[in-house]
Amino acid sequence: MAKLAAVFPGQASQYVGMGKEFYDKYSFVKDIFGKANEILGYDIKKIIFEGPLDLLTQTKYTQPAVFITSIACFKVFTSLFSLRQPADSSLISFAAGHSLGEYSALVSAEVLTLEDGLKLVNKRAELLQESCEKTKGSMLAVLNAEKNVVDEICSESGKSGVCEAVNFNAPGQIIISGETAALKKAAELAKSKKIKTIPLTVSGAFHSSLMKDAAVKMAEELKKYTFKNPKFPVITNCDAEITTDSSVFAEKLTKQIASPVLWIDSINKIISQNCNTFIEFGPKTVVSGMIKKISKTAETFNVENETTLNNIKIPEA
């Protein structure tokens, strides 16, 4: 069987009703959602399945919701497909997650337990929400522009406030993050250069220096948890490195909060290891779409319901 990489989405992939097919069919998925309700102390299952969407899209609910759904999808896949594997081998060769999705990747690789992963995601969401309310920023997608041009736009717009290139998602898709006035200036500059921009529907300037306060507080929180060596390597957002040492994950998760997501480099790193098949676990296909832009030869699948699960055809090595 060919090498497989498990990839996980971040915030902005959520929708009302995600994961419900698997919840209705598999008892262990019911257990995951039930455990989540207990840990969080509120009915996250109801918010995920019933909405309303404006509630689900609040950072403090979105992040636990996407995390829970992603892990449920991963567990369904492994429960069915692991039967094809020898007992002493792993179905997955690598894992990576985009931003929030990095926590899902760490749980999939058994670096963190589901319970600890959810507690950390919940705390991360709370801290980011606090920072968002204090800093009043947002994010802007810049399309079909070279990095040096985006850097120039950020440098000029930075005179109006924080404006930084933070997510290198795919060729022709760079996300900038910062204060509202600076992003407005950036959009104007891009337009003058005939470059298209799209405002993102997020509540803050994620991965920018405006999140440093959240990063400092998250560093203290991470000290309370135990990290294990991964069952399979995890490629980390902040440096796009293949990571197998449990002692560095807390530091990398801290850095990730206020640093760029090097997604293009992360996917290319996996491909360089002769792994060209990616399975996205969780709502929608945002990550799969990025991967297709990064590599024309990459094969992508996603798991979010029974239809997508049944469509998976794992190639032979």
pLDDT at 317: 65
The closest alpha carbon to 72, from 281, 300, 279, 312, belongs to 281
At residue 81's C-alpha, the angle toward residues 75 and 87, to 5°, is 95
What does the pLDDT read at residue 89? 59
Note whether 4-132+210-310 and 137-203 share their fold.
no
Q: Which CATH architecture has domain 4-132+210-310?
A: 3-Layer(aba) Sandwich (3.40)
Architecture of domain 137-203: 2-Layer Sandwich (3.30)
Whether 98 is catalytic: no
The two tokens of residue 157 are 């717009």
- Helix, strand, coil tally for the chain in percent (to 5): 50, 15, 35
Give the total residue count for the chain: 317
C-alpha distance from residue 28 to each of 32, 33, 73, 215 (Å): 6, 9, 11, 33
Phi and psi angles of residue 177, each rounded to the nearest 5 degrees, phi first: -140, 145
Q: Per-residue pLDDT tens, the chain, 317 aa: give them.
A: 789 999 999 998 999 999 999 999 999 999 999 999 999 999 999 999 999 999 999 999 999 999 999 999 999 999 988 766 555 557 899 999 999 999 999 999 999 999 999 999 999 999 999 999 999 899 999 999 999 999 999 999 999 999 999 999 999 999 999 999 999 999 999 999 999 999 998 889 999 999 999 999 999 999 999 999 999 999 999 999 999 999 999 999 999 999 999 999 999 999 999 999 999 999 999 999 999 999 999 999 999 999 999 999 887 76
Distance (Å, rounded) from C-alpha 298 to C-alpha 279? Answer: 11
d(CA 149, CA 165): 11
- What pLDDT shows up at residue 175? 98
Distance CA 260, CA 248 (A): 18
Name the active-site residue from 93, 99, 266, 295.
Answer: 99
Enumerate the H helices of the chain as residue ranges. 20-25, 27-40, 44-50, 53-56, 59-81, 101-108, 114-135, 147-157, 180-192, 212-222, 249-257, 263-271, 286-294, 306-310
Indicate the pairing of strand 4-8 with strand 277-281.
parallel
Domain ranges (residues) in the chain: 4-132+210-310, 137-203
Confidence (pLDDT) at 86: 54
Helix (H, G, I), strand (E, B) or coil at 85: coil
Give me the catalytic one of 207, 208, 259, 266. 207
Quote the pLDDT of residue 133: 92
What's the pTM? 0.96
